[in-house]
Amino acid sequence: MEKFYLTTAIDYVNGAPHIGHAYEKILTDIIARHYRQRCDDVYFLTGTDEHGIKIQKTAAAQGITPKELCDENAQKFKNAWNALDIDYNKFIRTTDDYHEKIVQKIFDKLLKQGDIYKHSYEGLYCSGCECFLNAKDLTEDGLCPDHLKKPEVVKEENYFFKLTKYKDAIIKHIKEHPGFIVPEFRANEVINQLEDIQDISVSRAKSNVQWGIDVLGDEEQSIYVWIDALSNYITALGYDNENPSEMMNKYWPADVQVIGKDILKFHSIYWPAFLMALDLPLPKHIFAHGWITIDESKMSKSLGNVISPTSVLESFNLEHPDAFRYYMATSAPCGRDGNYSDDDFKEKVNAHLANSMGNLLNRTLSMLVKYFDGEVKAEFKCENPLAKKALGTVQIVKNHFDNFEIAEAGQEIISLVDAANKYVQDNAPWTLAKEEKMTECGQVLVNVLDIMCIIASLIYPYCPNIASDMAKQLSFDLTTKLDELTADNIKVGKLISKEDIKPVFLRVDSELADKSAKK
């Protein structure tokens, strides 16, 4: 694998980030970190979508300029991703000067080659979706099904993109590339939407939407959201149809584009059509994740259940975001909806990260210190009965990631932890020590510690701080590529002293955790 390029959707900045935004960024960051364990060149793009009528109206209501609103809220997203250890390579803003100039050139190219044309239109416009809807798309009450608001009748002369021209080619691509849309069960949904697809408006009259990128040569029109927003995936790489950039040549097509299921239509129909019109290859995979509900209810400002991604860290006094990252990433099977609740969060992370994984490492190292003063002797190195399962788990985890099954991969890692815990219970090193079978006791402990190195490597994308603490206590090089992992990781000699053994994750409701946070 020479390179791996992945993107998230860019978040709309008419408000602050919430837990749904965080879910997508955490999933993508975990994918990026995993592939950095397999590939030397991973490029991870995220950013913010900053044009359109909602920004214009929100800024006016607050008595500030649209750019001031964008600057303020874009920083909130950056701060949130920093708090969640989202390790992206580039953060693009659609108000970035280079992006706006390239978007104008893309629009101009498509206009000149006949893929864009001017047309008078009257239709039902949903400002929440930022798109025109067909009457058949509405509820029985005539409301937008996503925003439950009545769309307004808009009559304008706009520029339209010939989406119908690319309909057959998109259907053909989806059918010939089963993994293009992930999960695959959403492919039929997209094909059904394509059956009666219409050409789409790609500009708005300045009389209605002032906050947008100007159409070159037409001062009365603003470039509409879809060409503007979707193009970020290539403008971030310096796309130029006249002078292809080195970055563009190196990273495009994207290996995976991670989005929410609510914008799948735009990424699996509009975006491929734009790319075909630009004579560019399509991304290898569009991964549409599900939604996160709060206590089994859809997030809603009116219900007051919109959760800030950093509020969970604050309410549980979490020193680092690993527990939240792990919980969110394992909250739903691939492409399905998940749920967040405080009680489930506490129960799951305590069970998996503190009781199973953290306690296994802590007690194994403690026994090594108690019985052998923290020293690994040569006779402790033997054939490891856990090796086959551990190395097999590495391959299973890789396969899950290749299908973007992040929760499923997490379950496999915890299954390996459970197997190591069972091995300790079955072989009872404390009993072996009592019976003075010291070589056998040391072998059991070192076998477990060798596997803990593999567990640290596998859990790293989910829990980078916990994994780093584990690796430090095990003297294990966490930069080891997954394909180079073995079951022989612990070196002969002094491994650790009593004072260096520390819990890698404290139970979120423990007295120690509270004291640690208050220091």
Query: What distance in Å separates the CA atoms of residue 129 and residue 320, rounded to the nearest whole number?
Result: 35
CB atoms within 10 A of CB 122: 10
Q: What is the three-state SS of 48-71?
A: EECCCHHHHHHHHHHCCCHHHHHH
**String of b and e for 1-18 (b: at least 16 CB within 10 Å)?**
eeebbbbbbbbbbbebbb
Asked whether the beta carbons of 466 and 505 are under 8 A apart, the reply is: yes
Identified catalytic residue from 118, 119, 175, 298: 298
% helix / strand / coil in the chain, to the nearest 5?
A: 50, 15, 35
Active site includes 131? no
Do the strands 338-340 and 181-182 form a parallel or antiparallel pair, or are they unpaired? unpaired
Phi first, then psi: what are they for 237, rounded to 5°? -95, 5
Contacts of 71 (CB under 8 A, 6+ apart): none
Q: Which of 70, 144, 334, 453 is catalytic?
A: 144
Respond yes or no: is residue 441 known to be catalytic: no
End-to-end CA distance of the chain: 45
Active-site residue, selected from the candidate residues 147, 177, 481, 491: 147
Residue 140's identity, in one-letter code, is E
Which of 136, 301, 518, 519 is labelled catalytic?
A: 301
Tell me which of 21, 34, 51, 78 is the catalytic residue: 21
- Residue 134 per-residue DSSP state: -
Q: Which of 78, 99, 126, 320 is catalytic?
A: 126
400 is catalytic: no
Q: 298 an active-site residue? A: yes
Question: Which one is catalytic: 34, 51, 99, 129?
Answer: 129
CA-nearest of 124, 131, 112, 329 to 230 is: 131
- Decide if 21 is catalytic: yes
CA distances from 358 to 43, 417, 456 (A): 31, 10, 10
Is 126 in the active site?
yes
Task: Calculate Rg over the CA atoms of the chain.
Answer: 26
Contacts of 373 (CB under 8 A, 6+ apart): 494
Nearest to 182 by CA among 254, 236, 249, 251: 254
Which residues are annotated as catalytic?
18, 21, 126, 129, 144, 147, 298, 301
